[in-house]
């Protein structure tokens, strides 16, 4: 019985990390490419500095997921935030953090850099 409870908890945690947060938009890299010139959007890459240095898209700037809580003050809550990572999982975690801290316009890049054309 305890074994099944542990398994169900583990599955629940995995699913909660994959599913989009309520109120977070999800867009494909192709859709995001049409937005890249918009100066009113904050483009944030939450990968590690090493991953960002190897490959990134302009105008995304690097705020690693591990530093996001400390660096949220660098972001304007009134402007849209577009988040990207390698596959979309870390950026969804970042979206959930931002949502909990009062950000309202949040978009996650579905598939992350792995699906960027």
pLDDT at res. 14? 62
Ordered per-residue pLDDT tens for the chain, 117 residues: 887 888 777 666 665 655 556 679 999 999 999 999 999 999 999 999 999 999 999 999 999 999 999 999 999 999 999 999 999 999 999 999 999 999 999 999 999 999 986
The residue among 46, 53, 58, 25 whose CA lies nearest residue 91 is 46
pLDDT at res. 23? 73
SS (H, E, C) 50-117: HHHHHCCCCCCEECCHHHHHHHHHHCCCCCEEEEECCCCHHHHHHHHHHHHCCCCCEEEECCHHHHCC
Just list the catalytic residues: 85
Say if domain 2-115 classifies as CATH 3.40.250.10: yes
Return the sign of the alpha-carbon dihedral for residues 90, 95, 96, 100: positive
**What residues does each domain of the chain span?**
2-115
């Amino acid at each position: 019985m305890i074994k099944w409870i542990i398994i169900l908890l583990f599955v629940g945690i995995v699913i909660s990390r994959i599913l989009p947060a309520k109120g977070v938009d999800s867009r494909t890299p192709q859709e995001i490419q049409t937005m890249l010139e918009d100066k009113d959007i904050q483009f944030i890459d939450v990968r590690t500095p090493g991953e960002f240095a190897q490959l990134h898209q302009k105008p995304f700037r690097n705020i690693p997921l591990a530093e996001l809580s400390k660096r949220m003050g660098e972001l304007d809550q009134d402007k849209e935030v577009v988040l990207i990572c390698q596959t979309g999982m870390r950026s969804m975690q970042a979206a959930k953090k931002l949502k909990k801290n009062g950000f309202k316009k949040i978009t996650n890049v579905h598939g992350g850099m792995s699906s960027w054309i």
